[in-house]
Amino acid sequence: MNNVYIPITVDHIARVEGKGGVEILVGDDGVKEVRLNIIEGPRFFEAITLGKKLDEALAVYPRICSFCSAAHKLTAVEAAEKAIGFTPREEIQALREVLYIGDMIESHALHLYLLVLPDYLGYSGPLHMVDEYKKEIGIALDLKNLGSWIMEVLGSRAIHQENVVFGGFGKLPGKATLELMKKRLQEALPKAEYTFELFSKLEQYKEVEGPITHLAVKPRGDVYGIYGDYISASDGNEFPSEDYKEHIKEFVVEHSFAKHSHYHGKPFMVGAISRVVNHADKLYGKAKELYESHRNLLRPTNPFANNLAQALELVYFAERAIDLIDEALAKWPIRPRDEVEIKDGFGVSTTEAPRGILIYALEVKDGKVAYADIITPTAFNLAMLEEHVRMMAEKHYKDEPERLKYLTEMVVRAYDPCISCSVHVARL
Amino acid sequence: MRRKAKIGFYALTSCYGCQLQFAMIDELVQALEKIRIECWFMLDRESNENAKVDIALIEGSVSTEEEVELVKKIRENAKIVVAVGSCAVQGGVQSWEKDKPLEELWKTVYGDGKVKFKPKMAEPVSKYIKVDYNIYGCPPEKKDFIYALGTLLIDSWPEDIDYPVCLECRLKGNPCVLIEKGEPCLGPITRAGCDARCPSYGIACIGCRGAIGYDVAWFDSLARTFREKGLTKEEILERMKIFNAHNPKLEEMVEKVFQGVEE
Q: For A63-89, give the DSSP string.
A: GG-STTHHHHHHHHHHHHHHHTT----
- Three-state secondary structure of chain B: CCCCEEEEEEECECCCHHHHHHHCCCCHHHHCCCEEEEECCCCCCCCCCCCCEEEEEEECEEEEHHHHHHHHHHHHHEEEEEEEHHHHHHCCHHHCCCCCCHHHHHHHHHCCCCCCCCEEEEECHHHCCCCCEEECCCCCCHHHHHHHHHHHHCCCCCCCCCCEHHHHHHHHCCCCCCCCCCCCCCHHHEECCCCCCCHHHCCCCCCCCCECCCCCCCHHHHHHHHHHCCCCHHHHHHHHHCCCCCCCCHHHHHHHHHCCCCC
**Strands ordered across the beta sheet of A238-240:** A215-218, A230-233, A238-240
Within 10 Å of residue A233's Cβ, how many Cβ atoms? 18
Residue A56 and residue A2: Cα distance in Å, rounded? 58
Residue B69 and residue B189 in one domain: no
Residue A394 and residue B85: Cα distance in Å, rounded? 41
Residue A322 and residue A310: Cα distance in Å, rounded? 18
Q: Does the global pTM surpass 0.80?
A: yes
Residue B176 and residue B97 in one domain: no
Based on the number of CB atoms within 10 Å of its own CB, is A312 exposed (0-12), middle (13-18) or buried (19 or more)?
buried
A137/B29 Cβ within 8 A: yes
Give A52's contacts in chain B (Cβ within 8 Å): 96, 238
- Give pLDDT, residue B1: 44
Give B49's contacts in chain A (Cβ within 8 Å): 12
Residue B178 and residue B93 in one domain: no
Residue B97 and residue B36 in one domain: yes
- Give pLDDT, residue A3: 59
Torsion A235-A241-A242-A248 (CA) sign: positive
Chain B interface test: which of A39, A115, A159 (most B C-beta within 10 Å): A159
Which of B157, B141, B236 is CA-nearest to residue B191? B141
Residue B43 and residue B139 in one domain: yes
Based on the number of CB atoms within 10 Å of its own CB, is A9 exposed (0-12), middle (13-18) or buried (19 or more)?
middle
Q: Confirm whether B21 is domain-assigned.
A: yes
Q: Which residue of chain B is at minimal alpha-carbon distance from A62?
A: B15
Residue type, B208: C
B206/A59 Cβ within 8 A: yes
Binding residues of A for Ni(2+): 65, 68, 418
Q: Confirm whether B78 is domain-assigned.
A: yes
DSSP result, A89-134: -HHHHHHHHHHHHHHHHHHHHIIIIIIIHHHHHT-SSGGGSTTTTH
Chain B interface test: which of A58, A130, A160, A409 (most B C-beta within 10 Å): A160
Closest CB to B105: pick one of A47, A124, A169. A47
Residue B263 and residue B260: Cα distance in Å, rounded? 9
Residue B118 and residue B34 in one domain: yes
Residue B22 and residue B80 in one domain: yes
Q: Confirm whether B79 is domain-assigned.
A: yes
Query: Touching check for A160 and chain B: CB below 8 Å?
Result: yes
Contact residues, A window 30-49, toward B, CB-based 8 Å cutoff: 39-49
Closest CB to A170: pick one of B18, B122, B202. B202
Query: Touching check for B69 and chain A: CB below 8 Å?
Result: no
B109/A159 Cβ within 8 A: no
Q: Which residue of chain A is at minimal alpha-carbon distance from B49?
A: A12
B104/A15 Cβ within 8 A: no
Binding residues of A for Mg(2+): 46, 374, 424
Residue A424 C-alpha from the chain's centroid = 17
A171/B97 Cβ within 8 A: no
Number of domain units in chain B:
2
Tens place of pLDDT per residue across chain A (428 aa)? 455 667 778 878 788 888 888 889 888 888 988 988 888 788 888 889 999 999 999 999 999 999 999 999 999 999 999 999 999 999 999 999 999 999 999 999 999 999 999 999 999 999 999 899 999 999 999 999 999 999 999 999 999 999 999 999 999 999 999 999 999 999 999 999 999 999 999 999 999 999 999 999 999 988 999 999 999 999 999 999 999 999 999 888 888 778 899 999 999 999 999 999 999 999 999 999 999 999 999 999 999 999 999 999 999 999 999 999 999 999 999 999 999 999 999 999 999 999 999 999 999 999 999 999 999 999 899 999 999 999 999 999 989 988 999 999 999 999 998 887 776 444 43
Angle (deg, nearest 10), helices A175-200 and A134-155: 150
Residue B84 and residue B116 in one domain: yes
B201/A42 Cβ within 8 A: no
Find the largest Cα–Cα distance for chain A. Answer: 77
* Residue A130: φ, ψ to 5°: -55, -45
Q: What distances in angstroms separate CA B33 from CA B21, B30, B44, one per listed residue?
A: 20, 6, 17
Q: At B88, which CATH number? A: 3.40.50.700
Instruction: Determine the structural domain holding residue B81 and report its residue range.
Output: 5-153
Within 10 Å of residue A318's Cβ, how many Cβ atoms? 27
Residue B20 and residue B113 in one domain: yes
Q: Confirm whether B263 is domain-assigned.
A: no
Residue B3 and residue A172: Cα distance in Å, rounded? 48
Residue B253 and residue B228 in one domain: yes
Residue A383 and residue A213: Cα distance in Å, rounded? 12
B110/A53 Cβ within 8 A: no
Give A423's contacts in chain B (Cβ within 8 Å): 13
Contact residues, A window 164-223, toward B, CB-based 8 Å cutoff: 165, 169-171
Q: Which residues contact B145 (CB under 8 A, 6 or more apart)?
A: B21, B22, B25, B135
Residue A162 and residue B199: Cα distance in Å, rounded? 10
Sort residue A339 into left (φ over 0), alpha (ψ -120 to 50) or beta: beta
> Where do the structural domains in chain A lie, given as residue ranges?
45-421
B104/A47 Cβ within 8 A: yes
B94/A43 Cβ within 8 A: yes
Peptide bond into B139 cis (omega under 30): yes
Query: Touching check for A9 and chain B: CB below 8 Å?
Result: no
Q: N- to C-terminal Cα distance for chain B?
A: 67
Query: Touching check for B114 and chain A: CB below 8 Å?
Result: yes
Q: N- to C-terminal Cα distance for chain A?
A: 44
* Residue A351: φ, ψ to 5°: -135, 170
Query: Touching check for A366 and chain B: CB below 8 Å?
Result: no
- Cβ–Cβ pairs < 8 A, chains A and B: 202
Residue B153 and residue B38: Cα distance in Å, rounded? 16
Residue type, A388: H
Which of A351, A359, A356 is CA-nearest to residue A414? A356
Residues in chain B, how many?
A: 263
Q: Confirm whether B250 is domain-assigned.
A: yes
Interior angle at CA B134, CA B129 and CA B135, nearest 5 = 140
Chain B interface test: which of A11, A15, A43, A166 (most B C-beta within 10 Å): A43
- Give pLDDT, residue B113: 78
Q: Provide block-wise average pLDDT over 10 residues at a time, chain B (263 residues).
A: 87 94 88 92 92 97 94 98 98 93 84 80 96 97 96 93 97 96 96 97 96 92 96 96 96 91 64
Domain end residue (candidates: B131, B153, B175): B153
Give B203's contacts in chain A (Cβ within 8 Å): 156, 162-163, 165, 170-171
A130/B17 Cβ within 8 A: no
Residues in chain A, how many?
A: 428
Residue B149 and residue B5: Cα distance in Å, rounded? 10
Residue A200 C-alpha from the chain's centroid = 20
Residue A183, SS3? helix
Beta bridge pairs of residue A337: A168
Query: Touching check for A370 and chain B: CB below 8 Å?
Result: no
Q: Which residues contact A132 (CB under 8 A, 6 or more apart)?
A: A121
Residue A231 and residue A237: Cα distance in Å, rounded? 8
Task: Work out whether strand B78-84 and strand B133-135 pair parallel, antiparallel, or are unpaired.
Answer: parallel
**Whether the Cβ atoms of residue B166 and residue B188 lie closer than 8 Å to each other:** yes
Residue B256 and residue A399: Cα distance in Å, rounded? 67
- Give pLDDT, residue B263: 60
Count CA atoms closer than 13 A to B249's CA, side-chain side: 14
A171/B44 Cβ within 8 A: no
Residue B114 and residue B178 in one domain: no
- Give pLDDT, residue B112: 81
Residues B49-100: pLDDT tens digits? Answer: 999 999 999 999 999 999 999 999 999 999 999 999 999 999 999 999 999 8
Closest CB to A47: pick one of B93, B108, B119. B108
Residue B146 and residue B185 in one domain: no
Q: Which top CATH class is A45-421?
A: mainly alpha
Residue A374 and residue A394: Cα distance in Å, rounded? 34
